[in-house]
Amino acid sequence: MSTDKPLILVVDDEPDIRELIKDILEDENYLVSVAADGQEAQTAFNKQLPDLILLDIWMPDIDGITLLKEFKQQNKAVSIVMMSGHGTIETAVEATRLGASDFIEKPLSTAKLLRGVEMALENRAKQVAIQRELSQVPVGKSSQMKLLRDQVERIARHDMPILLVGEGGAGKHCFAHYLHSLGNYADGKFIELSPESFPLDSHKIKSLAANNCIYINDLALLNDDAQALLLHLLESKQLDSCQLICATQFALQKAVDNNDFLEGLLYQINSITLAIPALKDHIEDIPELVHNFVDLQTTQAGLPYRRFTVAAQNRLRNHDWPGNVLELKNVIQRLLLLSDSDDIDVVDIEQALHSEAEAAAEGDDAINFDLPLREAREQFERIYLLQKLQETDGNVGKAAKLAGMERTHLYRKLRSLGIDTKQI
């Protein structure tokens, strides 16, 4: 829902009835838009997705059942109540089979109309809650999150590949799952392919992809052969019966300029791009995210419930969150696990953020000889590679040459060490 008041679209070819319904619903504080025929209804639907559609069954240009099918195809979460003066049981059954949530018979009475509308909106709210549980619907009331959710609802059923761009931990997986849950292959699997696991075999990819959702993360790290294969499959339209979502935290255009990424592949996958903002750019969502994570950790992971004081929440809003939502999730988990009071206050937050910062800063220090070899090696690699990237002004290709390693190997290394080339 994009506003706090539910938006109801009334589709009826009789002007008196349309206006009457509009007046009654507006008196009850609903937002109402009206359409006289199928075409107007389609335009209104595309302009702003309604929370509920009241749809007349008999209309001159297109019948309500066809329109119902079209709307449901475009967005299966939309709630639709059919209205008809000549309602028969068969039509009602047919409409509910096709996804209508209810059926109101004309002549309408105010009570009948309002009861139908309330029930449909309640059902929709329940459905959204269930869906949220199942598919991790991205939460957040900020304008960015609302817009992204609206865009996802609009594009999920398109067949074009979708590109998600955002920093590590910003929510790319979360939006990919949401796209899958609303997409044409929601009943199929969500298969994640990483550059390491990307099969260099077109039959294998096609069989994985068939009627499923393929999520490739991080696209910039695909090696040359994998890039060429993916480009070939897309150009020859061999990945048609699947939903393809690619994700990256690196600037792909920059990778193209550096000859690290195939330009043709970028054009194949970037026509629908969603930018997932860094958490510091939508901090107003922190209270809701905190609530969401506390809920998840207490119900699913069995951690004890603790209340975050308002001061604690404000302190969380003042942090920079370089690790984005993932970092917030980790901080909350740590607080629920380690705190010994029922209330989480500013002091607890300071402590948790301090431990996070210490962990993150460890890599910037001189080599620590107390560390096990593996961690000391990682620490050295981080310092060494940051130095090379600084020398080459963030150019991964050049840094790879200096370091005497393959570019894609370097990309992978940077990712595993959590180094963001944009920050160089």
Nearer to ligand ATP, 40 or 284 (CB): 284
Shortest distance, position 365 Cβ to ligand ATP, whole Å? 24
Q: Which two tokens stand for residue 84?
A: 């008809």
Residue 191, helix vs strand vs coil: strand
Peptide bond into 218 cis (omega under 30): yes
Q: Residue 330 CB, nearest distance to ligand ATP (Å)?
A: 9
Backbone angles phi, psi at 309, to 5 degrees: -70, 165
Q: Is the peptide bond before 107 cis (omega within 30 degrees of 0)?
A: yes
Distance (Å, rounded) from C-alpha 149 to C-alpha 3? Answer: 13
Nearest residue to ligand ATP, scored by beta-carbon proximity: 171
Binding-residue pattern over the window 270 to 309 for ligand ATP, x denoting contact by CB under 6 A: -------------------x--x-----------------
By CB under 6 A, which span of 34-42, 136-144, 352-360, 381-389 interacts with ligand ATP? 136-144
Window contacting ligand ATP (CB under 6 A); options: 84-92, 166-174, 340-348, 375-383 = 166-174
Contact criterion met (CB below 8 Å) for 222 and 200: no
Q: Which stretch binds ligand ATP (CB under 6 A): 80-88, 122-130, 169-177, 264-272?
A: 169-177
What residues numbered 138-157 form the site for ligand ATP, per CB under 6 A? Answer: 138-140, 145
Q: Which is nearer to ligand ATP, 295 or 343 (CB)?
A: 295
Residue 362 is encoded by which pair of tokens? 């460890």
Tell whether residue 249 is a contact of ligand ATP (CB under 6 A): yes
Q: Which residues contact 58 (CB under 8 A, 6 or more apart)?
A: 13, 64, 84, 85, 86
Q: What is the closest distance, in whole angstroms, from the C-beta atom of residue 140 to ligand ATP in the complex?
A: 5
- What residues are paired with 216 via a beta bridge? 193, 246
Given 22, 144, 158, 168, the residue binding ligand ATP (CB under 6 A): 168
CB of 177 vs ligand ATP, minimal distance in Å: 8
Question: Strand 162-165 and strand 272-275: pairing?
Answer: parallel
Structure tokens at 207: 């069989």
Please, which residues have CB within 8 angstroms of residue 151's CB and are 6 or more apart in sequence? Answer: 274
Distance CA 195, CA 410 (A): 12
Q: Which residues in the 321-350 window bind ligand ATP by CB under 6 A? A: 325-326, 329
User: 357, 304, 342, 166: which is closest to 245 by C-alpha?
Assistant: 166
For residue 363, the minimal CB distance to ligand ATP (Å) is 17
H helices of 156-250, in order, are: 172-182, 202-209, 224-235
Q: Which position among 84, 181, 212, 217 is part of the footprint of ligand ATP (CB under 6 A)?
A: 217
The stretch among 78-86, 170-178, 192-200, 379-387 that binds ligand ATP (CB under 6 A) is 170-178
> Rounded to whole angstroms, how far apart are CA atoms 368 and 375?
9
Of 14-22, 45-53, 161-169, 314-322, the window that binds ligand ATP (rule: CB under 6 A) is: 161-169
- Site size toward ligand ATP, by CB under 6 A: 20
Residues within the interface to ligand ATP (CB under 6 A): 136, 138-140, 145, 166, 168-174, 217, 249, 289, 292, 325-326, 329
